[in-house]
Amino acid sequence: MVPALTNGGRSFKGAALYYLHDKRQDGEAERLTSDRVAWTHTVNLPTEDSDRAWRMMATTAMKADELKAAAGVKSTGRKLTKPLTAYSLSWHPSEEPTQAQQIEAAKETLHLLGLAEHQALIVCHNDEPHPHVHVIVNRVHPSEGKAATLSKSKLILSEWALAYEQKHGKIFCPEREANQAKRLEGEYVRDSRIARPTHEFAKAVANDSITTTFTKVEQAQQDAQLAAFGRSMHEAHTKQWEGVKRTYRDAKAKLYGRADERKEQRKDAVKEAYRPQWRELFRQQLAERSAFEGRESSVLGKVWNMAQTARELRRRDIGQVSPMALLWGVVSKTERTNTLGRKQERGRRDLAAKARAAERRQQEHIRQQTKEKADQLRKDFLKECALLREVQAKQQAELKAAWARRNAERKAAFAPLREKIEGWDVLEEIGRRSRQQSQGITRSMQRGRGAGMR
């Protein structure tokens, strides 16, 4: 088990873009695929959606003062500038922890770090041979607004990792176990840093001549110039991608906007084209109703209307109308009138259906034309992206080559100093072994005294 702390940050969005997506490849301004994300899990958040989770964490951090005021906590002390903290937990490649075991391990560490009540997002990656998870934590308490202190986090995680390996019966990091034993005996164990004598010697050698000082200043200036050029190039590349995407987005919006306008125009045109037919239909139906009412005033006219009603009922309900219903429809004036009304309503529906079909044909024609133009627009956009990617890749390769030359120049400039430091490292190693032997002798003497006292 290897826990690793990362530096705190202020951007939950930046962390999400990194941890929830694949690593950017050379020449890419951003990476939106997520193939390396095996699964995610949220802690103290009302959602399992990782995208909503980081936004909620960012909102909590921004409202820290409001949360403090609501909880009655004083808004004193230094203002929090890095509300985000993150760390990883990595298992040995031979281990195969389940998702539940990885989540449990992450929650144990959150509890030990005093972050059990804080919002967190656990992200599991599958891009390495060893199982590992990243834990992204909001330092701002979700109800009190106070920021968690993370002193001694590295030591806490180291002790937990040792206990974890001991619990599971396999020690993968014996050096950590040895350091823990030294701490239990009261010995101060340093982190893996440069020994003080080596640092002092390097400092002395670096200032042993005016030539060395000039070399350091000159190399730093050249590094700074190349780094500034790299930053400018990166900013230019970002703006270029933003410009290409904005142009494509605006052109697509304009295309679909014009399509909507054309659809409305065609819709109005179809209505206008069918207007004469509607007028003719209304005229015919008005004349038909007038004639019907006129025939109802005479016996022969009623007989004619009865015959027309019977024919309409049989045509409309073929095989389903009963003799009694047919007789009632023929005898009743109300039913004769209703039958005529239903016939005319069917005529209006038929004409409306024809108008709608004509409108749909027009709409489908516009939709197909728009799709073809959108496909061509996307092809042009992808072609522009490929060209831009090729140009930027060439520029990045040139910058990479420039850094390779710069590194070689710096290495050559500091070669004499490096030789002196390597010579001092040999002496430092001899001194370290001598101190270890002295410490071993001292401990043996202490154990001997203890045995004598017993």
Last residue of a domain, one of 158, 193, 228: 193
Please write down the HEC assignment for all residues of 281-322: HHHHHHHHHHHHHHHCCCHHHHHHHHHHHHHHHHHHCCCCCC
Residue 45 dihedral angles phi and psi, to the nearest 5°: -130, 145
Q: In this structure, is residue 243 part of a structural domain? A: no
Number of H helices, E strands in the chain: 11, 5
Task: Clarify whether residues 157 and 295 are in a common domain.
Answer: no
Give me the domain span that covers residue 6: 2-74+81-193
Q: What pLDDT, on a 0 to 100 scale, did the predictor assign at position 240? A: 94
Task: Clarify whether residues 357 and 257 are in a common domain.
Answer: yes
Q: In this structure, is residue 436 part of a structural domain? A: no
Task: Clarify whether residues 298 and 167 are in a common domain.
Answer: no
Please state, in angstroms and as integers, the Cα–Cα distance from residue 261 to each residue in 163, 204, 248, 257, 266, following that order. 69, 78, 20, 6, 9
Q: What pLDDT, on a 0 to 100 scale, did the predictor assign at position 207? A: 41
| pLDDT tens digits along 287-344 | 988 988 888 888 788 778 777 877 777 776 544 555 655 565 566 778 778 888 888 8
Percentage of residues of the chain with pLDDT beyond 70: 79
* Residue 190: both structure tokens together: 């340093």
Task: Clarify whether residues 331 and 189 are in a common domain.
Answer: no
Q: In this structure, is residue 404 part of a structural domain? A: no
Task: Clarify whether residues 315 and 379 are in a common domain.
Answer: yes
For the chain, residues with pLDDT lower than 50 are 191-211, 318-319, 453-454
Task: Clarify whether residues 31 and 137 are in a common domain.
Answer: yes
Tokens 């193939």 correspond to 35
Q: In this structure, is residue 96 part of a structural domain? A: yes
Number of domains comprising the chain: 2
| pLDDT tens digits along 390-427 | 999 999 999 999 999 989 988 888 787 666 555 555 55
Q: In this structure, is residue 135 part of a structural domain? A: yes
Q: What pLDDT, on a 0 to 100 scale, did the predictor assign at position 390? A: 94
Task: Clarify whether residues 255 and 343 are in a common domain.
Answer: yes
Q: What pLDDT, on a 0 to 100 scale, did the predictor assign at position 18? A: 86
Task: Clarify whether residues 18 and 166 are in a common domain.
Answer: yes
Question: DSSP letters of 318-342?
Answer: TTT--HHHHHHHHH-HHHHHHHHHH
Residue 97: give its domain's CATH number: 3.30.930
List own/partner pairs for 169-175 with CB under 8 A and 24 or more apart: 170/92, 172/1, 172/92, 173/1, 173/2
Q: In this structure, is residue 413 part of a structural domain? A: no
Task: Clarify whether residues 27 and 154 are in a common domain.
Answer: yes
Task: Clarify whether residues 7 and 127 are in a common domain.
Answer: yes
Q: In this structure, is residue 432 part of a structural domain? A: no
Residue 367 in 3-state DSSP? helix
Q: What pLDDT, on a 0 to 100 scale, did the predictor assign at position 451? A: 52
Residue 277 dihedral angles phi and psi, to the nearest 5°: -65, -40
Last residue of a domain, one of 387, 412, 443: 387
Q: CA dihedral in degrees (107, 115, 20, 4; nearest 10)?
A: -80
Task: Clarify whether residues 28 and 141 are in a common domain.
Answer: yes
Please state, in angstroms and as integers, the Cα–Cα distance from residue 180 to each residue in 3, 91, 431, following that order. 15, 20, 23
> How much is the mean pLDDT over the chain?
82
Last residue of a domain, one of 124, 159, 193: 193
Rounded distance, CA 275 to CA 351, Å?
11
Q: In this structure, is residue 271 part of a structural domain? A: yes
Rounded distance, CA 435 to CA 376, Å?
75
Task: Clarify whether residues 21 and 106 are in a common domain.
Answer: yes
